[in-house]
Structure 1
């Protein structure tokens, strides 16, 4: 058998990088512009950077306690309306507040304008521990029959986090970053890009990332296919949108071997996919 999965599903995706800040109103202007551009390009899902709506603390917004959550929630309502108007899914980086707890979150809004999930960052260290509570969901959703996963910034350094997606048969993963520095570091940029390539290759999964440009970018906005090839990459430190036509890949003999051996090593009961159905 030459392949175990035919090309079944397609989805036009967009990722947009912009200079996030503590100014929620200004961030919203960028978000509106991105949604308009995405709509013109018939994007089905648009994904934003980490904490895009309010700025990442303390890099882009000084104190989490000073965030105007009433204003932030009003912006989210407007984004939901825009998602519905444009028949578009939107994954918006934001901060969620529940009682006295804060979560570094990707808010997933469907094309009816409904919030269908929050992926709250689970692997925390440094500033994240200072500000946030760990999430407890896997960040896996199905959009137009495509299983999609979400991860946030620091989590790219943990293969286990992406193996979780692999075991759940996720074929497309978005990674949202706010990874920026006052002083440029192409070395760090290339290290993180290499990590993204590895996560794609080892999990036979397409990986698409998006990063802020509030300072020097030290992680890329990039599209990487399941073979680890870079398909598209945004120019560093410039406002930019990548639009990419994603297709569920054909799994050929070579890739089947990689998947099958990985499943055996992981002791996973997940089946291979053939004609849209999992088979053992």
Structure 2
């Protein structure tokens, strides 16, 4: 019987790498006290979001980011806790990726997912990724997506085809002027993706004011199990068990539909 304790965390992501790292270290320590196996953070939470926190790579401190990444690897190993967090990954001088990385409890960088669907604003600073990423944590097959990927159900089907049971999706829908369309549609969109593909979704969001919606944890039946407090740094712990079963209205025809047979009989 496999169980996994997930800490879905949020804090107000800033331009300062040092500040972001301090917030992350604090939340990791608190999550470890609550016996979390893995801590999940938001989009570009370590390096800051280009186009929001800063408008050019010209003076970006890549050395500080590398040092902070190393610090997190060492912290994961010391505390024996997994980490999923957003960062900026430089492939070349003219090729930066909006990335989500998984670091194991052994302090190893196991996987890196590059945001595949970048917005028009993103493309001024980032290049898009091209591949799915999966990895295992305590027997659960996990996948990664980032923010605007939410608009493309094909990515969720791709994760399902690869056996994903737990999806970590990181967002940056924050520092807005007030409630907006994301406040209304984002959580129901995630609920639909979870239910149609029958997997868990840990979805977090930077909590910088105005946070369009608070971080949520969605069950495979589409139900939101828990929510963080809006505009507040913190985290929630959700334990999943591979023996748990949920309502799954699509089960009879999902495999058929994924194979391209789009009718029942």
Which runs of 5 or more structure 1 residues have no equivalent in the other structure?
A: 1-7, 269-280
Matching of residue 258 in structure 1 with residue 246 in structure 2: no
Return the offset for 1:219: 3.5
- The answer as to whether partners of 2:85 and 2:101 remain within 8 angstroms in 1 is yes
TM-score normalised by structure 1 residue count: 0.88
Deviation at 1:64, TM superposition (A): 3.0
Quick one: which of 94, 98, 103 aligns to 2:97? 103
Equivalent position of 1:45 in the other structure: 38
The residue number in structure 1 matching 2:13 is 20
Q: Could you say what secondary structure the match of 1:78 adopts? A: helix
More displaced stretch, 181-190 vs 118-127: 181-190
Aligned pair count reads 259
What's the counterpart of residue 68 of structure 1?
A: 61
CA contact (8 A) 1:104 1:121 kept: yes
2 CA distance for matches of 1:150 and 1:129?
20
Deviation digits for residues 108-140 of structure 1 (CA, Å, limit 9, x no counterpart): 111111111111101112121111111122021
Distance 2:130 2:182 in 1: 29
1:1-23 residue CA offsets vs partner (Å, 9 max, x unmatched): xxxxxxx3210011111111111
Equivalent residue for 2:207?
213
RMSD of aligned alpha carbons: 1.6
Q: Please give the alpha-carbon distance, in whole angstroms, between the structure 2 residues aligned to 1:260 and 1:66.
A: 54
Q: Is residue 7–residue 235 contact of structure 2 (8 Å, CA) maintained in 1?
A: yes
